[in-house]
């Protein structure tokens, strides 16, 4: 039985056993070591040396064999779990860090009077020429009976630009100075695939949807120093949660170049997959791929890979009604005209772009929150497969919230990954808003994770911080996958489409080896196997003994990246 768990011992025969100065080696033992290999084996011990895993299996056999050659240091796990490091496959770590460090933060459910006080205090005590912050809930104005958002903000301050993002990151709330910053007035036409909300008199009311928000946001810039501090902060936060690799789902060139400089200085201690940003505004021609290839080539290192690209195909299925759906949204007195959302990019243009980037070996992430946009994204990948039959890149359908059954069945065949957002899979204000907006016949098909796993679609997941999550904590998402309940709610009995919950073992694979595959790192990380990098974490308890409703409370004692302890929880 013991030999069943002993996979390999790499004994360097050229080293003489008579040599006095034995090379060092570390053995971790006395806990449950979850390998996430193909068999999902749990072993007693793991030995690492020079950044690599050199042996796993039975503790006594490992020690007896290795101590003849190595000077062994032992780490007692005290019955806790050791497992591969977490892969966050969809986040905005630099944006989130900029928000935490340099912007005004508030919770989605903040009452209007509390937000008013916070903003007055912030403007008074923070010396800034602009106020950027968020995030207000999608139903914030209705819930707080704010009939004119512009006047509400102007009552706080109308001379300093105030730019507040919503909980999806797709819509913006600004004051008069913010409108001026974007050269927006009553005569400004809606940009394609965007909307400037107007009051009954035809004047902007301060709310900018989708591409209209970029009339203002494109004027916002950050310094290299701010990016550097934000990258350092995001890395520290990631490692504290056990994240050893993260995919930035919308990275601009300046942030990528800053990160490259930091890596050359030895300041990057985890892996970053950087999805290069593509233009948000509507266009009529394919992208010039040469600049993206140049950025990827110049900034690629062992710790940074910019051979990823992000396309925004639609918006969000909240009250803004900007996700592209196959059915019409519900109408109400604020939205009397039937609509099924819109696409930011025409299907023909998307197909050309996807085929071009696929040919250059980019992994492509396509934001598709509606089932109509999901279908067009899948069609575009199908077009690329026909044009580049040798390509093996696993492209990604970001959010994968609404997928028609016909399209779900196509995903495995076309080698498309479902990029999931489990941080939203439970009752919450944003979900309530979505369910009140999307046609009823679709709402029983929301985030069909179990169906995706059943049909062997490659599933990955991410926090999407700061768009929908308050931090990078992956254990919140893992718990939501397993329970479909709100991990932070006092009433834990209410679940959202609970028949789609999955076992913990599946959720852990999604956040480890599946994520590694999505970042082209599975040959060296994502599971604990001989020859792979020693990328792993030690938890504060045995994950197999925990109540599913308590998974979000897990703490990471230590995070190791390439054999180096990069995080240790302070007592």
Nearest to 276 by CA among 263, 287, 266, 265: 287
Band the pLDDT of 401: cuts 50, 70, 90: confident
Q: What is the mean pLDDT of residues 289-309?
A: 98
The pLDDT of residue 20? 56
The pLDDT of residue 544? 87
φ and ψ at residue 131, rounded to 5 degrees: -115, 115
**Do residues 275 and 395 lie in contact, with contact meaning Cβ atoms separated by under 8 Å?**
no
**Do residues 502 and 449 lie in contact, with contact meaning Cβ atoms separated by under 8 Å?**
yes
Residue 443 has pLDDT above 60, yes or no: yes
Q: What is the mean pLDDT of residues 371-387?
A: 98
Q: What is the mean pLDDT of residues 122-149?
A: 89
pLDDT single digits (tens) 320-367 = 899 999 999 999 887 889 999 999 999 999 999 999 999 999 999 999
**Do residues 388 and 435 lie in contact, with contact meaning Cβ atoms separated by under 8 Å?**
no
Residue 470 has pLDDT above 50, yes or no: yes
What is the percentage of the chain residues whose pLDDT exceeds 70?
A: 95
Cis-peptide into 473, omega within 30 deg? no
Token digits of residue 236: 């520290």
Residue 513 has pLDDT above 50, yes or no: yes
The pLDDT of residue 333? 81
Q: What is the mean pLDDT of residues 482-502?
A: 82
| Of 43-57, 307-321, 434-448, 497-511, minimum mean pLDDT range | 434-448
Q: How far apart are CA 367 and CA 169, in angstroms?
A: 13
Residue 371 has pLDDT above 90, yes or no: yes
Structural domains of the chain, with CATH? 2-79 (2.30.40.10), 90-217 (3.10.310.70), 222-559 (3.20.20.140)
Could you tell me the sign of the dihedral formed by the alpha carbons of 262, 252, 356, 411, in that order? positive
**Do residues 391 and 385 lie in contact, with contact meaning Cβ atoms separated by under 8 Å?**
yes
Return the higher-pLDDT residue of 487 and 472: 472
Residue 428 has pLDDT above 90, yes or no: no
Token digits of residue 485: 């309940």
The pLDDT of residue 143? 86
Nearest to 172 by CA among 148, 193, 196: 196
What is the chain's mean pLDDT, rounded? 92
563 burial level (CB within 10 Å; 0-12, 13-18, 19+): middle
Q: What is the mean pLDDT of residues 415-426?
A: 88
Q: What is the mean pLDDT of residues 240-265?
A: 98
The pLDDT of residue 340? 95
The pLDDT of residue 274? 99
Cβ density class 220-251: b for 16+ within 10 Å, e for less = eebeeebbbbbbebbbebbbbbbbbbbbbbbb
Residue 506 has pLDDT above 70, yes or no: yes
The pLDDT of residue 18? 44
pLDDT single digits (tens) 448-463 = 899 999 999 999 999 9
| Of 22-31, 71-80, 433-442, minimum mean pLDDT range | 433-442
Return the higher-pLDDT residue of 511 and 192: 511
The pLDDT of residue 492? 61
pLDDT single digits (tens) 158-193 = 999 999 998 888 899 999 999 999 999 999 999 988
pLDDT single digits (tens) 4-50 = 444 444 344 444 444 458 999 999 999 999 999 999 999 999 999 99
Coil/strand/helix, residue 12: coil
Residue 83 Cα distances to 193, 527, 558, angstroms: 44, 8, 11
The pLDDT of residue 430? 80
Q: What is the mean pLDDT of residues 194-215?
A: 94
Residue 552 has pLDDT above 80, yes or no: yes
The pLDDT of residue 491? 64
Q: What's 212's DSSP letter?
A: G
Residue 213 Cα distances to 25, 208, 253, 311, 322, angstroms: 55, 5, 20, 17, 13
Nearest to 308 by CA among 319, 299, 321: 299
Residue 374 has pLDDT above 80, yes or no: yes
The pLDDT of residue 234? 99
The pLDDT of residue 321? 92
Residue 220 Cα distances to 142, 215, 249, 309, 312, angstroms: 29, 10, 19, 22, 20
Token digits of residue 285: 């021609």
Nearest to 221 by CA among 253, 193, 261, 190: 253
| Of 156-160, 193-197, 424-428, minimum mean pLDDT range | 424-428
Residue 424 Cα distances to 119, 141, 300, angstroms: 27, 21, 33
The pLDDT of residue 334? 78
Q: What is the mean pLDDT of residues 375-379?
A: 98
The pLDDT of residue 128? 83
Angle (deg, nearest 10), helices 371-387 and 347-359: 50
Beta-strand relationship, 459-461 and 52-57: unpaired
């Amino acid at each position: 039985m013991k030999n069943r768990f002993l996979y390999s011992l790499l004994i360097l025969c050229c080293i003489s056993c008579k040599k006095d100065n034995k090379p060092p080696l570390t053995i971790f033992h006395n806990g449950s070591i979850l390998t996430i290999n193909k068999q999902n084996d749990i072993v007693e011990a793991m030995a690492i040396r020079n950044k690599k895993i050199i042996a796993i299996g039975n503790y006594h056999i490992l020690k007896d064999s290795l101590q003849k050659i190595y000077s062994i240091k032992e780490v007692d796990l005290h019955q806790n779990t050791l497992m591969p490091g977490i892969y966050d496959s969809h986040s905005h770590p630099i944006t989130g860090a900029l928000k935490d460090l340099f912007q005004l933060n508030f919770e989605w459910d903040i009452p209007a009077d509390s937000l008013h006080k916070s903003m007055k205090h912030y403007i008074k005590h923070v010396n800034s020429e602009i106020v950027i912050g968020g995030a207000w809930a999608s139903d914030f104005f209705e819930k707080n009976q704010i009939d004119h958002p512009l006047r509400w903000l102007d009552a706080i301050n109308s001379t300093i630009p105030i730019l507040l993002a919503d909980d999806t990151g797709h819509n913006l709330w600004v004051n008069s100075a913010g409108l001026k910053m974007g050269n927006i007035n009553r005569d400004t036409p809606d940009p394609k695939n965007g909307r400037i909300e107007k009051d009954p008199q035809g004047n902007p009311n301060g709310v900018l949807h989708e591409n209209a928000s970029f009339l203002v946001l494109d004027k916002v810039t950050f310094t290299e120093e701010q990016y550097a501090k934000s990258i350092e902060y995001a890395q520290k936060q990631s490692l504290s949660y056990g994240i050893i690799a993260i995919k930035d789902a919308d990275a601009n060139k300046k942030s990528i170049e800053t990160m490259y400089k930091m890596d050359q200085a030895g300041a990057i201690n985890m892996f970053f997959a950087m999805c290069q940003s593509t233009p948000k505004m509507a266009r009529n021609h394919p992208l010039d791929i040469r600049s993206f290839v140049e950025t990827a080539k110049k900034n690629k290192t062992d710790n940074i890979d910019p051979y990823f690209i992000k396309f925004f195909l639609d918006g969000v299925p909240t009250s803004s009604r900007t996700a592209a759906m196959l059915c019409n949204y519900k109408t109400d007195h604020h939205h009397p005209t039937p609509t099924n959302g819109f696409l930011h990019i025409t299907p023909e243009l998307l197909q050309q772009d996807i085929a071009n980037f696929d040919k250059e070996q980019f992994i492509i992430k396509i934001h598709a929150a509606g089932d109509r946009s999901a279908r067009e994204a899948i069609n575009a990948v199908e077009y690329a497969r026909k044009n580049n039959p040798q390509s093996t890149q696993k492209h990604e359908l970001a959010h994968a919230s609404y997928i028609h059954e016909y399209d779900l069945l196509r995903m495995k065949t076309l080698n498309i990954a479902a990029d999931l957002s489990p941080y939203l899979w439970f009752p919450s204000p944003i979900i309530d808003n979505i369910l009140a907006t999307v046609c009823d016949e679709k709402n029983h098909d929301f985030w069909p994770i179990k169906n995706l796993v059943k049909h062997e679609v490659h599933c990955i997941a991410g926090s999407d911080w700061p768009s929908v999550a308050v931090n990078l904590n992956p254990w919140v998402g893992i718990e939501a996958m397993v329970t479909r309940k709100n991990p932070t709610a006092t009433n834990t009995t209410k679940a959202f489409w609970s028949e789609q919950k999955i076992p913990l073992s599946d959720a852990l694979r999604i956040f480890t080896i599946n994520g590694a595959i999505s970042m082209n790192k599975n040959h060296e990380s994502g599971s604990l196997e001989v020859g792979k990098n020693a990328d792993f974490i030690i938890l504060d308890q045995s994950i197999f003994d925990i109540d599913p409703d308590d998974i979000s409370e897990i703490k990471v004692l230590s995070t190791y990246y390439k054999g180096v302890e990069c995080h240790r929880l302070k007592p």
